[in-house]
Amino acid sequence: MVKAELMKKKMIIHLGFPKTGTSYLQKNIFTRLDGVNYLGRWDNSYSNGALGLKNFVSFLLFMPEDAFLNRLPQMEEVLLNNQLHLEKNGNGITNILLSDEALIFRTIDPFGIRWHGKFSGCIDRLLRRLKIFADYSGFDLKLILTLRHQADLIHSLYCERYYVYRKMSDIDTFSKYLSTVLNSKFYDYGISNFQYDLLINKIRGFFQKENLLILKYEHMKNDPLQFYKKLVEFTGCHTDVRELLPKVEKNIENRRKIDHNKKIANLGFHIPKIFENLNSSIVAFLYKVGLIKSNTVWEYRLKNGLWFHKPKIITMTKEQRRMINDTFEKSNRILSQDYKEFLDYVNE
């Protein structure tokens, strides 16, 4: 039964995609939106006050089917009774904003099935569960989906997950990874969600068109005013978009990016903070005396860098990029009919 006291409350969930500026949005934008209670997450971690979000996401993704319906009251409780919500709710802020790219990531990482089972990554199940929860709790549920050109997104995702994939012999190179995800059974329930037109249609099968906001990652960099204007209007906030722009213009570039088709792989190695500081001091000294060049300083200062060993660079060839473009050309053409701003995905 729908709870009357919650009928007018909004819940806005940013699903991802990962590698579409999600960390920046979480740390620097969502926390600055007036009129919504942002419950996390922040970059790769959950604060103590946002542990309710972590539990909520776990319910959605991994709760066995026969137990899910029985856990609906508990799912609602972990959100409404967490520290952050109680603090802001006391100030009259009742609308909730969540952001966790793990939601959509589990549907596009076919290799996750080796640990979580085939159906944990099913987008249909995720959407159905979100709909069930919204109907139960009485929230007006709205979804935000940030998209990025598939070639850049797939390449960036592989580099981000390289610390895991490098241990799997069948996908320990980007070439093997592409061959596996584009030409195998994994495609049907993993990488197929990069067919953005079909993904959007699936979402619309559960939620009204006006309850879905589609944002383009490339606009965050090239047209931030329009990007954040759409975000603010959709969330119903009163934030002045111009207040968001200075930070965006200064920090939006991903420091891992080298050029169009090259990325620094995540080696999954983190050195203690004291050594990070020592490393930075030594690098600064070497730069000052001219032993390293200014355009390579940031490479040596990466938090997961291996001291003075250059990080592994993973390149996407023109042929690989063309193969990805060809795979999703039809999907992007259909997408651009409804969303004209994505026409360049077809004409690249």
Nearest to 161 by CA among 114, 120, 195: 114
The pLDDT of 288-311, averaged and rounded, is 56
* Residues 99-138: b if buried by 16+ CB within 10 A, e if exposed: bbbbbbbbbbbbbbbeeeeeebbbbebbbebbebbbebbb
Of 40 and 91, more confident:
40
Flag the least confident range among 18-27, 30-39, 123-132.
30-39
pLDDT tens-digit profile of 161-180? Answer: 888 888 888 889 999 999 88
Coarse DSSP helix, strand, coil percentages of the chain, rounded to the nearest 5 percent: 60, 10, 30
Quote the pLDDT of residue 84: 60
Nearest to 103 by CA among 31, 175, 53: 53
Of 5 and 65, more confident:
65
Of 94 and 145, more confident:
145
CB neighbours of residue 280 within 10 Å? 13
Residue 79 · residue 52 · CB < 8 Å: yes
Quote the pLDDT of residue 19: 93
Quote the pLDDT of residue 125: 87
Q: 4-148+187-254: which CATH topology?
A: Rossmann fold (3.40.50)
Quote the pLDDT of residue 294: 54
Quote the pLDDT of residue 134: 94
Give the global pTM.
0.81
List phi, psi (to 5°) of 240.
-75, 115
Q: Where are the domains of the chain?
A: 4-148+187-254, 268-311
Please, what is the average pLDDT of the chain?
79
